Amino acid sequence: MHSQCPLAMIHAEGNAVDLSEEDLALINALQIEPRLSWADAAGILGVHATTLAARWERLRSGGASWVTAHLIGDPKQMCLAFVAVDCERNQRENVTARLAAMPQIVTIEEAASNRDLMLTVITGSLEEFSTKVVSRLKDIDGLLKYQTALCTRLHSAGDAWRLNVLSRAQQASIRALGRSLPAGAERPGAVRAPLPASHLDLLPILAKDGRATAADIARALGRNPATVQRQLNRVLASGILSLRCEVAQKYSSFPVTCQWFARVPAGQHDAAAAAIRTIRQVRLSASTTGPTNFVIIMWVQSLAHVMDAELSLQQKVPGIELVESVVMLSTVKRVGWMLNPDSTASGAIVVTAGELQRAE
């Protein structure tokens, strides 16, 4: 019998808010550089830093946007899996709740197809996927069957998706600021030792708030701020985390999620991935095991645009075979955050320090 993983909870205050162009610009800036300082953002957006801070707090507390950090899921470091689940119709709510309580299952979507639920799972290893996820699926009443596709290469993910409301010059300015690493941080490509437990303690806090400062984390952990700053620099430079600014899908202008299971000829996956990255709506593309060997997820404007997206994929990737398309009815959980039915953040996240382990 497996014990339930504890939930780390934060609560949004107030109701979801309507987003202005200024709100979207701020979100776009944080998509590019999630830890951008308000002073730097003010210089680029032409808005006072205190105004930006207040605007962000309104967006965050209303569940319209949030910054989080999660395990990156790169198959070179850890195990990323896509799992399709079928369940008894009258047990679907219970099955979903049991799955949502598992921190390894980072995303849960309800599908309008012969698959009831689509799961995205990240674990430290294939063995951990088997022992901490698959073994527990068998114990969930009402879960009838599941099918797994293991990611062999992650080509693009949701942290690269952009609203694209800022000018090219503004985007370039923010990207330039993001290239500066904090003092003491490791350089990209550096040989990294496994992160010690003291550093892993920071991960649940960053999952709750990807903009948390060293002072914030020090208060939460009861540690010296200077020590935490060094630990934070190392964690952010470690390569195991993805920082992202999320937006409630209802505000994105692309309210429909569609996932394709495709076949791409052997040896053409890198070329296919490069072509697919030019399609703005793409949220994820990955090479996988299984009956098909490529997964693509897009946000599109409407059901009518699903066919347009398929045509675009076929034009950009010669030889691609779109075997199955799955439209999602709703997203229950996105990279650890529980969502409301309207796609806004509920304020609850599922994360435990023990589950966020450095992949060897």
pLDDT digits (tens, 9 = 90+) for 192-231: 557 898 999 999 999 999 999 999 999 999 999 999 999 9
pLDDT category, 240, cuts 50, 70, 90?
confident
DSSP output for 229-251 = HHHHHHHHTSSSEEEEEEE-GGG
The answer to whether residue 100 scores a pLDDT higher than 80 is yes
Round to whole Å and give the CA distance between 293 and 353. 33
Q: Which residue ranges make up each domain of the chain?
A: 1-252+330-360
Confirm whether pTM is higher than 0.95: no
| pLDDT for the residue 352 | 59
* Residue 330 three-state SS: strand
E strands along 172-320, which residues? 241-247, 256-263, 282-288, 294-300
How high is the pLDDT of residue 76?
84
- pLDDT band, residue 282 (cuts 50/70/90): very high
**Confidence class for position 24, pLDDT limits 50, 70, 90:** very high
Higher pLDDT, 10 or 202: 202
Q: What is the mean pLDDT of residues 166-190?
A: 69
pLDDT band at 5 (very low <50, low <70, confident <90, very high): very low
Under 8 Å between Cβ of 349 and 10: yes
Give CA 74 to chain center in angstroms: 12
